[in-house]
Structure 1
Amino acid sequence: MQKVTLDLSDVTFTKGAVLGPGYGYFGVQVDELLADRIPHTILVFAQGGDVYSDNLTWNVCDLKRMPDGTAAVLGDRGEFRIYDGTTLVLEKNIDMKLAGPLLGLMTDTGTDMCAVGTLLQVFTFRNGEWSCQSPVAASTGTMQLARRAFEHAASMSDTRMLAFGWDGEIWSSAEGRWTQADSPTSVDLFDACSTGVSGQLAICGQVGTVVLASRDALKVLENEDVFEDLWSICRFRDRLYCASSHLIYELVLDERRLVPLEAPDLILPTGSGHLSAAGDQVLWSVGPRQLYEWDGSHWTPLFEVA
């Protein structure tokens, strides 16, 4: 990465991975190149007042903070990198033929990872190598799989995870064996995080949908007040937060409802879509035109498109 003066005009922010206060990675795409469908991402690393970037010739589809403080970056065509600060420490692309674009990256408590995407593709990264673990064989044919995709995956325990995505499709993997669940919803599901209860996940999706997932049950939390799509969900300081394109909500499980987040100083992100937490330190909200940081009491604008 090279130290740069970032030009924040005619660009769109994508996703972020916060490491600490004012410290982390986020993706930027140039609007003109985006409109022309030219694969690219400017991967930005911010540390205090210094900004560094790496100009990638591929689209970053997901960006995750690793437990050791590094950041994992996944491209939609299987590109994969790990950065430590400004240093590229690993480049290990998925060299198997992809059936379609990848969409999400799951990082666990260790070094294992899981990449998921369209046509129900699943690839796991273990011991420095990628392997295909898709529940449905590619030989099934793209016609049958065309409208099926995993948006993300999340770990429920050391041996069990869920993968979920379009039309409410949910699959469970236990010790490498996949089982399709009887989903309680038919809307697209986008993201998940632990609720803090062992073996329990909250999954967010279209029209304010939240699915509470445990080992033996999948249940939609009824919500009559929020109709926005919920793109991202994150646990921060033992509380759950969901991001739509415009607002950030707290998911209050005891009351089974979504509450719009307020700020005493009235400084709030006006556009969101992706949340990332650095332990109990800070939470990042990344929207198309702004990146805000929250310390649990106040929001601070870090970067905004001019």
Structure 2
Amino acid sequence: MSTTDTAVGDIATNGVRHRTVEVQGLRVFYREAGDPANPTLVLLHGFPSSSAMFRNLLRDLADSYHLIAPDHIGFGQSAMPPAGDFPYSFEKLTEVTVGLLDALGVDRFALYIQDYGAPIGLRIAGRDPERVTAIISQSGNAYLEGFTPFWEVLFAHAKDRAANEAEVRTLLEAEATRWQYTHGVPADRLDRLTPDTWTLDQAYLDRPGNKEIQLQLFWDYQFNLDGYPGFQEYFRTHRPPVLVAWGENDEIFGADGARAYARDLPDAEIHLLDAGHFALETHGAEIAALIRDFLGRKVS
């Protein structure tokens, strides 16, 4: 393992550190905040974002928790090998994430799962349940009920890539990236959105070769559904403490996906916020307060 800290000078414990670790010969970038002696919360981002989506939450919770937010391979500042040179799949992204946590010596942790972070985090939890102390889901889908009409073209693409690739590619363009942030946001909170978010995401998507990576992950997403029965069995068998903080107006993973958690986890704490897919951008303070209360009661 080799580690690089890109911060300069001494940083207070509650400051955010920006670091890289080599995992399987690949550079994995991650943000870290808080005292490692405190309970750890691992933050797993979704598409088309990066660990930048947690920039505010890291600072909001760093006084009480140790937080780690990696960029998945192909995203953000982590390595981006060409699609033909690396087996982009959610299984492989899970493997790299476990490698990162092992390299950092993080044995027990709570998970924050959003979008793509859900099939990664739930694979980790289901395979090594003793490591996971709690789960926080923000549009982190684990049930068929969560899929909306947004997914119709993606599932068509999974069945026939060639016939549907042109339409799916529109999801990688600037208008679609901006829409992911703005849809479902109430009018009185639109001014909380910073254009920096979708501008940064689009800059990463527009790197040469990145759209091919995203197309491969779009195609591979179908295999996450095969894992849903196992994820749900993990919920029923191990009963992890679960907090759901979900945008009720999310048109990518609908609110029924949030409600479905109660079927296998009657004690799940489910909060539907007047927000869209990226609820942290408009309801960050509310989500941070929910997490602080939840982890304070559930994780010693």
Q: With structure 1 as the length reference, what TM-score do the two structures score? A: 0.28
Q: Which structure would you say has the larger RCO, counting Cα contacts within 8 Å and 6 or more residues apart?
A: 2
Higher strand share: 1
Higher helix share: 2
